[in-house]
Amino acid sequence: MAQVQVVLNPAADRGRAGERHEELLRALAQAGVDAAVSLTERPGHAVELARDALQAGVRIVAAAGGDGTIHEVAQALVGTDAALGVLPMGSGNDYIRALGIAKDLAGAAAVLARGRERALDVASVNGEFSLNSFGMGVEGQIAADYRRMRFLKGEIGYLYATILEVVKFRAFRAEVAGDGWTFAGKLLSVSVMNGPYAGGGYRLAPQAQPDDGLLDVGLIGNYPRLVRFAVLPKTRDGTYLNLARVHAKRAAQVKIQSDRPLPVHMDGELLPELVEELEISLRPRALHVIA
C-alpha cells in the first residue's frame, strides 16, 4: 500500500492542474514519496476520496490543487490521527504561505517527504471546517466575481475583482460578537482568519498563527467609494488594520448577524447560498499537517 494518497483536482487553476499530472508524478518520485494518485471528478469528490483513503489505512492524504482542494480533503481529516499533505497546483495558495511549504511542486514534494507534522487549529462554521480564511460581505462578493472570470487567474484575477467591488459593493449593517466584545454598525466586510493571508496573498491578519488557539477577526467599516481606493492598497500588506474604521479583534467563538443575505467565502470557495447569520467556533489543533 502506498504511504501517501494524493488527491489531484484536475480542474484546479482553471484546468491547468490536470495538464500537470505527469509533472506531479515526477516531483513525487524525485522526492522519494511512495504515493498513489486519484483524480477528482466533481465538486465534493475530494472529501470522498480522502475518506476512502482513511478507511484503507492510509495515514497521509495530500491535496494536489488549490485552496479549495485542500479545504475539501481536510474535511475528512479533521479530528483524526491522519495528516494532510499539500501539493500546491491552484491559483491562490494562501494556506501554504504561513506553513513553510514551497509553491513549486518539487519543493512541496520535498516537504511532504521530509517535513514535520504540525497540529493546527480549524474553525467550525455551520458544520463545515475552515482551515485558513472566512470572509463575509465584499470578500465573499470578490470570490463570486473571481469564480465567473474566464481569463484572469491568481493574484491578478483577485485584484481585478477587488477593484470592481470597491466601486460596486453596498455596505451592510451587522452585529458581530466575540469573546467579551461586541460590534454593531455598518461594514464592508467581516474576515475571520486562522492564517495571515487570503485572496491570493492579501495580508488580512498579519499576526494570525494557525496554532495559537484564537481566530483573528477583521471588521472593515464603510467608506465612500473614492476613499475605498486609498484603503485597498493597505489590505495588501495589512496596514489597513491601523485605519480608524477598521476594528481588529480576536476570539475563539464568533457570531455574525447581518441585515441582508450576503455572499460568503470559506478558504476562497464561495458558499452555495447567501447567508445572514453565522456562528464560528475554533477547534484547536484538530488537523495534522505536514509542514
Phi (first) and psi of residue 51, to 5 degrees:
-65, -40
Contact 100, 291 (CB under 8 A): yes
Give the CA diameter of the chain.
Answer: 59
Structure confidence at residue 136 (pLDDT): 95
**Class of residue 255 by CB neighbours under 10 A (exposed 0-12, middle 13-18, buried 19+):** middle
CA distance 219 to 199: 16
What global pTM score does this model have?
0.90
pLDDT of res. 150: 64
Instruction: Identify the pLDDT of residue 185.
Output: 97
Kindly state whether residues 52 and 167 are assigned to the same domain: no
CATH of the domain at 269: 2.60.200.40
| Domain carrying residue 70 | 4-115
Is the same domain home to 233 and 149? yes
Taking the chain (291 residues) in consecutive chunks of 10 residues, what is each chunk's mean pLDDT?
Answer: 88 91 97 96 96 97 95 97 96 86 95 96 94 93 78 72 87 97 97 92 93 97 93 91 96 98 91 94 98 94
Among the candidates 115, 142, 165, a domain finishes at 115
pLDDT of residue 37: 97
Q: Looking at the domain assignment, is residue 106 inside a domain?
A: yes
Residue 122 located in a structural domain: no
pLDDT of residue 151: 67
C-alpha cell of residue 7 = 488527491
Locate 215 and state its grid cell.
Answer: 481566530
